[in-house]
Amino acid sequence: MSDVVEKYFERIGWEGERRADVATLKGVHLAHTRAIPFENLDALRRRAPSLDPVDLVAKLVDSRRGGYCYEHNSLFSLVLEALGFGVTRLTARVVVGADRIESRPRTHMALLVEVPGEPGPYLADVGFGALGSLLEPVPLVADTEFRDAERRHRLVHAPEHRGPSQMWVLEAYAPEKGGGQWEAQYAFTLEPFEKPDFEVINWHIATNPRSPFTQRLFVQRVAPGRHFVLVGRVFTETKADGTVRQRELTDEAQARRVLEDEFGIVAPEGATLLP
């Protein structure tokens, strides 16, 4: 595993410490989000990507590809555990744009990380393909604003949750929305989920014709002060101050160029990218 971890660190450009402390957790998390893009090219072809560690390394580390949440956070959890962190794999309901938390299924994977010597765990997530994603992990503390790199997040408790476990909601501050406002990103509880659970969810999201990931292209990349996203034909660049630029792609050749130039992704031969 040590060779894999070193290859991973080379991929994300991490030259810092290899130890289980908060500084390393935050640094590796940020480096991962800036180095490995979010993308759904396998699901777009109705193929469930493998979550086997060997395949994750081959795709996200060795090749010019990215992945979606199950791939990113599965790989990240393996690295964290090799460094000595404790990791609990969680499921979450993505609630961006939803009227009710209960209207969305648990289809997102996030991580609860125990840091040796620290009083409480951290929420970590390198695989949320949205502008409100975490750039660095945040302590599992309610009603406190955290600044992670250029972004602002907070955790709150969901009101009137009916289940036996407390429901947490990750919120992101959106400066581009009406002069700035807090927006819910996803909701989760703390009970652990295991590899077989994510195998089932992964297969469903990648093959169900009603899944958003089988219907159109989703690609995301984070850079210092900027966020790039391609949804279908629309390429959007959002700066840290909320400034937004958009353009629409016209054909497959242009889409492949944008993937390579803006996201560092080489699309598989024969893949159809645009509707």
Give catalytic residues, as residue numbers: 69, 108, 125
Q: Give residue 9's Cα distance to chain centre.
A: 18
Q: How far is CA 237 from CA 105, 219, 263, in A?
A: 29, 12, 12
End-to-end CA distance of the chain: 41
Is-contact 259 273, C-beta < 8 A? yes
Q: How many residues does the chain have?
A: 275
Is-contact 246 236, C-beta < 8 A? yes
Angle at 188 between CA 226 and CA 37, to 5 degrees: 30
Q: Which two tokens stand for residue 171?
A: 């919120």
Residues facing 86 on adjacent strands? 114
Q: Is the dihedral of CA 24, 28, 30, 31 positive or negative?
A: positive
Output the DSSP codes for 44-66: HTT-PPP--HHHHIIIIISSS--
Tell me the H-state helices in the chain.
2-12, 22-35, 41-44, 53-56, 69-83, 195-207, 252-263
Q: Which two tokens stand for residue 2?
A: 């040590």
> Phi-psi bin for 256: left (phi > 0), alpha (psi -120 to 50), beta?
alpha
